[in-house]
């Protein structure tokens, strides 16, 4: 009996020494058996979409943190994982249990939105660029910002940077610039507009591209502008043989993409059957 009591005491002392004065991640604490976690979705794509219930199973206070950039793993393969976008610290007394709201954003664009009470595991840290973006979102407090959610899908699912288009021009520009910086991808001169997502539905596909096609003429001429796929087939005519005087022009266009496969397309300006200018469009 004395040996058993000593073993229990030694175990308690070991646990107390492990947590004393240390700030552990929730993953570290769970792996060491110091806490029990129940992680559930609250429904929705963006904002405080996670409830994390933590129970300290030790006889000592414990300090924890959840990192911006942690990817919480959905146990439903048809629902999106959640990227934590705000680093938070938690303090629990000995044997205390508390629930916390955790800010995050979905990071699997073509899975459905998490439903209320969806089950998650603590997962692991996301890929490098997603961690950088999560820290950027945290720094700028974009926690419930749908423009930032669009940026997450650019990095997680390789969506076009042009799909970062919903929100204030300042936020759009700020997030486009940062995503371009960390990924090395250029910023397109157009917007890709996705079908508005409904709660619980699979993320929409690109429905249109909106952009500006600038061109000039040295002489009076008739101009045709159309959009072609990568095989050279015309998929949309913007206008045909329209008379122009010499000068500078800007065409504000809408390219309808809802019935087209994703890929590379080209907007072309032609006179007398010859291509005078073309611009690449990707979505």
> Mean pLDDT in each 10-residue stretch from start to end of the chain (283 residues)?
41 45 93 98 94 98 98 96 98 98 95 92 98 98 96 95 94 98 96 71 76 97 98 98 98 96 96 96 92
Pairing of strands 221-229, 234-244: antiparallel
Please tell me the predicted confidence (pLDDT) of residue 66.
Answer: 98
Residue 28 belongs to a domain? yes
Residues 146 and 167: beta-carbon distance below 8 Å: yes
Q: Which among 152, 180, 204 is the end of a domain?
A: 204
From CA 172, how far away is CA 167, in angstroms rounded? 6
Residue 12 belongs to a domain? no
103 and 215 in a common domain: no
Closest CA to 118 of 38, 175, 46, 172: 38
Q: Give the start-end residues of each E strand in the chain.
A: 23-25, 35-41, 46-56, 62-66, 70-74, 82-84, 88-92, 97-106, 119-125, 190-194, 206-217, 221-229, 234-244, 247-256, 264-271, 274-282
From CA 49, how far away is CA 196, in angstroms rounded? 19
Please tell me the predicted confidence (pLDDT) of residue 4.
Answer: 42
55 and 182 in a common domain: yes
Residue 26 belongs to a domain? yes
Residues 43 and 139: beta-carbon distance below 8 Å: no
Q: How many CB atoms lie within 10 A of CB 188?
A: 20
Pairing of strands 62-66, 23-25: parallel
214 and 109 in a common domain: no
Please tell me the predicted confidence (pLDDT) of residue 113.
Answer: 86
Residue 5 belongs to a domain? no
Q: What angle do CA 167, 194, 260 make, to 5 degrees?
A: 150
Domain holding 169, by residue range, is 19-204
- Tokens 């000995």 -> residue: 94
246 and 196 in a common domain: no
Residue 11 belongs to a domain? no
Residue 188 belongs to a domain? yes
CB contact burial 120-155 (16+ within 10 A = b; e otherwise):
bebbebbeebbbbbbbbbbeeebbebbbbbbbbbbb
Please tell me the predicted confidence (pLDDT) of residue 22.
Answer: 86
Please tell me the predicted confidence (pLDDT) of residue 196.
Answer: 64
88 and 150 in a common domain: yes
212 and 117 in a common domain: no
Number of domains in the chain: 2
Please tell me the predicted confidence (pLDDT) of residue 8.
Answer: 40
134 and 246 in a common domain: no
From CA 262, how far away is CA 170, in angstroms rounded? 28
Please tell me the predicted confidence (pLDDT) of residue 204.
Answer: 65
From CA 148, how far away is CA 62, in angstroms rounded? 33
Please tell me the predicted confidence (pLDDT) of residue 14.
Answer: 42
Residue 3 belongs to a domain? no
Name residues whose C-beta falls within 8 Å of residue 9's C-beta, 6 or more positions apart in sequence: none
49 and 150 in a common domain: yes
224 and 175 in a common domain: no
Q: Which among 160, 177, 204 is the end of a domain?
A: 204
Which CATH number does the domain housing residue 256 bear? Answer: 2.60.40.2560
From CA 37, how far away is CA 193, in angstroms rounded? 38
From CA 277, how far away is CA 86, in angstroms rounded? 45
Please tell me the predicted confidence (pLDDT) of residue 198.
Answer: 54
211 and 197 in a common domain: no
Closest CA to 104 of 80, 129, 85, 118: 85
193 and 54 in a common domain: yes
266 and 191 in a common domain: no
Residue 221 belongs to a domain? yes
Q: Which among 154, 177, 204 is the end of a domain?
A: 204
């Amino acid at each position: 009996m004395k040996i058993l009591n000593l073993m229990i005491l030694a175990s308690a002392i070991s646990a107390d020494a492990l947590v004393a004065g240390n700030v552990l991640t929730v993953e570290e604490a769970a792996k060491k058996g110091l806490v029990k976690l129940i992680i559930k979705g609250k429904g929705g794509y963006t904002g405080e979409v996670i409830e994390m219930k933590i129970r300290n199973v030790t006889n000592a206070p414990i300090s924890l943190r959840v990192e911006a950039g942690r990817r919480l793993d959905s146990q439903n393969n048809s629902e999106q994982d959640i990227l934590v976008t705000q680093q938070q610290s938690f303090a629990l007394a000995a044997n205390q249990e508390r629930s916390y709201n955790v800010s995050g954003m979905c990071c699997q664009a073509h899975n459905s939105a998490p439903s209320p009470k969806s089950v998650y595991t603590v997962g692991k840290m996301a890929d490098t660029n997603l961690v950088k973006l999560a820290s950027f979102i945290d720094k700028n407090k974009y926690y419930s910002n749908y423009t930032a959610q669009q940026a997450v899908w650019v990095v997680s699912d390789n969506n076009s940077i042009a799909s970062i288009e919903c929100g204030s021009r300042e936020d759009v520009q700020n997030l486009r610039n940062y995503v371009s910086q960390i990924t090395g991808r250029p910023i397109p001169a157009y917007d890709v507009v996705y079908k508005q997502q409904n709660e619980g539905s699979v993320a929409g596909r690109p429905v249109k591209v909106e952009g500006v096609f600038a061109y000039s003429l040295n002489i009076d001429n008739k101009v045709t502008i159309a959009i072609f796929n990568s095989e050279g087939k015309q998929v949309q005519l913007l206008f045909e043989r329209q008379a122009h005087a010499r000068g500078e022009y800007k065409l504000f266009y809408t390219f309808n993409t809802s019935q087209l496969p994703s890929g590379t397309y080209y907007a072309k300006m032609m006179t007398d059957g010859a291509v005078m200018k073309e611009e690449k469009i990707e979505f």
